Amino acid sequence: MNITLYGAASEKIDEVYKKAAEALGREIARRGHTMVYGAGATGLMGAAARGITAENGSIIGVAPHFMRSLEPIYDRCTELIDTETMSQRKDLMEKLADAFVIVPGGIGTFDEFFQILTLKSLGRHNKPIVLYNVCNFWDNMLAVIGSDMFKGFIHSDVSDCIAVTESPVSTLDAIERLAGK
């Protein structure tokens, strides 16, 4: 199964998040899945990729040409796909995915998460979406979504579109259960 991972590229974040992302990468590889991601060598993306590599797993990196001048690309991707734009990158990562896991991240990660969540809520895909809630990172975002559901801004069935997990094992268990694999 191809699991698309969205997450931070920043190196300024606490090591606890990097260790959690690396452990997730290891679990993905141990279970024989392929990680699809933004090809970054730094932050949580790089940590997850190193976890995959440590377990001899498979990685498909997808990056627009211009990203090479902004951040380092992981040089041990099994396959590296170049795109022209970020939109093409997001579209291809979505197309390649059988499931999505979102680790902590910033505005780029939020953008990717909300795009796939919106598409799922509109019935454009039925792929599992799992928030890996390392150190309760997603709690505030989930509270805003819950508040907006209560106020009627977000349809109540949106909460059924997301699974929230707190460990690599529970993350992969949720993905496999929701994907029926």
Contact yes or no for 37/78 (Cβ under 8 A): no
Digit-coded pLDDT (tens) for 122-144:
999 999 999 999 999 999 999 99
Residue 68 has pLDDT above 90, yes or no: no
**pLDDT given at position 164:** 98
How large is the average pLDDT for residues 152-166?
94
Token couple for 2: 């191809």
**pLDDT given at position 67:** 87
Residue 172 has pLDDT above 90, yes or no: yes
Which residues have a Cβ under 8 Å from the Cβ of 82 and sit 6 or more positions away?
63, 64, 65
- For the chain, domains (ranges, CATH) are 2-179 (3.40.50.450)
**pLDDT given at position 156:** 87
Reported confidence tier of residue 11, pLDDT bands at 50, 70, 90? very high
Residue 181 has pLDDT above 80, yes or no: no
How large is the average pLDDT for residues 111-127?
96
How large is the average pLDDT for residues 157-165?
94
Residue 94 has pLDDT above 90, yes or no: yes
Digit-coded pLDDT (tens) for 15-59:
999 999 999 999 999 999 999 999 999 999 999 999 999 999 999
